[in-house]
Amino acid sequence: MIAVSVSGQAKKGHIFLKNGSIIKGKILESAPEGKIHVYSAGNTWVFQKSEIEKLVYNNKSGRGIKNDTLTSKFSVHTEAGVLIGNSENSQTAPLIFQTSVNYALTRKLNVGIGAGPEFLKETYIPVFANFEYKFREGDFTPYLFLQAGYSIPVENATAMQPDIYPYYSRFSSIRPDPWYNSGDNLKTKGGLMANTGVGVVKMFSPYFGITFSFGYRFSRLSYSGEDNYGIDLDYNRLSLKLGIIFN
């Protein structure tokens, strides 16, 4: 242990050492010496920068976490949730799962790519670009998100369902040719998807956090049959998702 006076420039925060230890206290960086001084519980510790994995300073409120030096700008965001529709839908709340790998362009803006299964009438795997913007730095913050991509079908064919049949054809003598009945097979072709909304993120450490989000989800799924028959099905749903983040 080395006695060092801690000046007024010292800032409260945490030091994460490469050996797994975490020390909380007042941190003072010594530029000429390339050392870090930490005043904690009446003791003063001195570390070489090579011993330190990450420095984290508290934000102005004294509660948040603000990274001073980022060892990695990549993060993994995994979410699970439901797509809520009205009671007349054959599937009122199908499940969705997704994982995205993101890169921090700035401390507030992340961009990345993601994929994951969702269970509509058939199983699809949307592949999408992901954008997340945090309103502020800290361990708790709201954020905006936007996802856009293409849903790839996993199943080759589906049985024709009543609620994807053109509504007008049930009451009109003018109908698509050929006539498809419930139970007839159509090929799934997938389609465009987009999901936008707001959420909150709570970081419990620089490495781990949880998220909750809700937003508007649009999917257009295409089907084809014999004799050039085709139909598009639009999903307009409320998305509710719970997730975890690893940095």
Q: Is the pLDDT of residue 100 over 70?
A: yes
Q: Report pLDDT for 43.
A: 80
For tokens 């508007």, what's the residue?
216
Q: Is the pLDDT of residue 234 over 50?
A: yes
Q: Is the pLDDT of residue 187 over 50?
A: yes
Q: What is the 3-class SS of 43-95, one letter each residue?
A: EEEEEEHHHEEEEEEECCCCCCEEECCCCCCEEEEEEEEEEECCCCCCCCCCE
Which strands form 65-67's sheet, in the order they lie side by side? Answer: 43-48, 35-40, 22-30, 11-17, 52-58, 65-67
**Best CATH choice for the domain 74-246 from the list 3.30.70.270, 2.40.160.20, 3.40.50.150, 2.40.30.10:** 2.40.160.20
Q: Decide which of 219 and 137 is more confident.
A: 219
The pTM for the full model equals: 0.65
Q: pLDDT-derived band of residue 161, with 50, 70 and 90 as boundaries?
A: low
CATH of domain 11-67: 2.30.30.100
Q: Is the pLDDT of residue 174 over 50?
A: no
Q: Report pLDDT for 214.
A: 96
pLDDT digits (tens, 9 = 90+) for 52-98: 877 777 765 445 445 444 446 899 999 999 999 865 556 678 899 99
Residue 60, φ and ψ in degrees, nearest 5: -65, -30
Distance between CA 156 and CA 226 in Å, rounded?
15
Segments making up each domain of the chain, as ranges? 11-67, 74-246
Q: What is the mean pLDDT of the chain?
A: 79
pLDDT digits (tens, 9 = 90+) for 118-159: 988 888 999 999 999 999 877 899 999 999 999 999 886 655
Q: Decide which of 108 and 130 is more confident.
A: 130
Q: Decide which of 107 and 220 is more confident.
A: 220
Q: Report pLDDT for 147.
A: 98
Residues in the chain: 247
Q: Report pLDDT for 193.
A: 96
